[in-house]
Amino acid sequence: MAILIKNGRVITATDDYTADVYCEGETVRRIEAEIDPASVPGAEVIDASGKYVFPGFIDPHVHVYLPFMGTYAKDDYGSVSKAALLGGTTSLIEMVCPSRTEEPAEALELWRGKADGLSACDYTFHMGVTRYDDAVESQLREIVAGGIASFKVFLAYKGAFGVTDPELYHTLRLARELGVIVTAHCENETLIDERQRELLAAGNGDPGFHEISRPTLVEAEGVNHLMTFAEMTSAHVYVVHTSCQLAVDAARRAIDRGVRAWVETVIPYLVLDNSYAEQPGFEGAKYVMSPPVRDSSQQPFLWNAVRDRLISTVATDHAPFDFEGQKEMGRGDFTRIPNGIPSVQNRIELLYTHGVATGRIDLHTFVDCASTQAARIFGLEGKGTVAVGADADLCIWNPDHTGVISAKTHAMATDYSAFEGWEITGRADTVTVRGEVVVRGGEFVGAHGHGKLLKRVPTH
């Protein structure tokens, strides 16, 4: 189906202009000051007067199928893709997280099988590497040849997902050989493990002690560790969910030395602080994620780092667990609280409300950190911009809309919202995925199964 978007203000990471945008098939075909509808007979005409036309947003860090602490995340690709699209996000990159005993190829098939035929938005994966041996290496080579161009390693979760130093070294060596970027969860697993044991032995099991068990210094040490290995192997690395200045500074020092590294933060760190996790009555469990939400004094630095492009991307680390029955597993022992804050639907509206509308970041930075950089870093060809020849993934944004976030109205499968009652400014009014209208008037009208696996060529 053809679509003609009239009179919109087109915003990319570098450009700002008013134009008409014509999409045919899955592609943007024309961008001109004025396109006569008579010249494109049969096209649906959408009036975007007074609205922004953004590229579809990309969330480079989500969990959908996620086994954790004996339970499973609540979303499936039906709910998560609908929620993403309602928020303006048209592509997701999910973390495949096999246990140390699982085979990578089997894990990828399992994760992919959860998305194929069900997702309404496009998707791809970071392949988790949780052990390294000859059999794993062989499978990783095949996985990369099949279109998965990024790995994920954990320098945390000792005995579960975490890799040893020899495994980290060989993963980075292989990634460098294949041109694959390695994304990494950076914390020191030994320090966390020892601190958690001490806190629990002293009777400190409430959610507020989660942050105390893994302070900023522990996160920064993990980043330093990764950067040393990256420098020794010449691998390209991407630090996921950085929460604090110490961690970002550790990455910046390595970048200044010539290490090829990129930094991600996630929306909870920009708008939440540790007072939420310290709420009485176990309410704080809703805000337990790793690394933890930090003291509010960290937020100005993070916002400035996004503004200055030191932080390349703002993702979510979406990990959806119910408060009742799942987060409650950790009553009396915060180490048993399933980690994660559901936020895939709210990322863009929170980033706009607390970033653009407050003047912390401009519109170009907004698009860059929420779409363009993810496309560039992870080789998503045709995504992340509005241009002739690009995929027709578009978000027509109404900057005048106001609303309130609530679990009663969100499409995510969780029984709570971490942002319950928060007011937001701006909304994704119309969203397209490869030329197909999937959100209209702020309502989901898409088809589950329209989304496709995005196969990528290594670019690092």
Q: What is the pLDDT of residue 273?
A: 98
Q: What is the pLDDT of residue 331?
A: 96
User: Cβ distance 186 to 239 under 8 Å?
Assistant: yes
86 in helix, strand or coil? Answer: helix
**188 vs 407: CA distance, rounded Å:** 34
Which domains, from first to last, does the chain contain?
A: 3-54+384-397+426-444 (2.30.40.10), 56-377 (3.20.20.140)
What would the mean pLDDT of 297-318 be, rounded to a whole number? 98
User: Cβ distance 314 to 323 under 8 Å?
Assistant: no
Residue 69 confidence (pLDDT) above 90: no
One-letter-per-residue 3-state SS of 54-94: EECEEEEEECCCCEECCEECCCCHHHHHHHHHHCCEEEEEE
The model scores a pTM over 0.85? yes
Residue 159 confidence (pLDDT) above 80: no
Q: What is the pLDDT of residue 445?
A: 98
pLDDT class of 166 with cuts at 50, 70, 90? very high
Dihedral of alpha carbons 160, 165, 166, 169, sign: positive
**235 vs 176: CA distance, rounded Å:** 5
pLDDT in tens, 3-32: 999 999 999 999 999 999 999 999 999 999
User: Cβ distance 171 to 229 under 8 Å?
Assistant: no
pLDDT in tens, 236-272: 999 999 999 999 999 999 999 999 999 999 999 999 9
Residue 158 confidence (pLDDT) above 80: no
Q: How many helices (H) and strands (E) does the chain have?
A: 14, 19
**Which residues are 239's β-sheet partners?**
184, 263
- How many CB atoms sit inside 10 A of residue 358's CB? 11
Q: What is the pLDDT of residue 154?
A: 96
Q: What is the pLDDT of residue 309?
A: 96
**282 vs 424: CA distance, rounded Å:** 26
Q: What is the pLDDT of residue 157?
A: 84
140 in helix, strand or coil? Answer: helix
In sequence order, what are the residues at sequence separation of 6 or more whose Cβ sits closer than 8 angstroms to the Cβ of residue 386? 10, 11, 12, 21, 28, 31, 53, 54, 55, 394
Q: What is the pLDDT of residue 208?
A: 97
Q: Residue 294 corresponds to which tokens in the numbers above? A: 């930090």
Q: What is the pLDDT of residue 163?
A: 94
pLDDT in tens, 404-428: 999 999 999 999 999 999 999 999 9
Q: What is the pLDDT of residue 68?
A: 86
Residue 217 confidence (pLDDT) above 80: yes
Dihedral of alpha carbons 114, 116, 120, 124, sign: positive
Residue 230 confidence (pLDDT) above 80: yes
pLDDT in tens, 327-359: 999 999 999 999 999 999 999 999 999 999 999
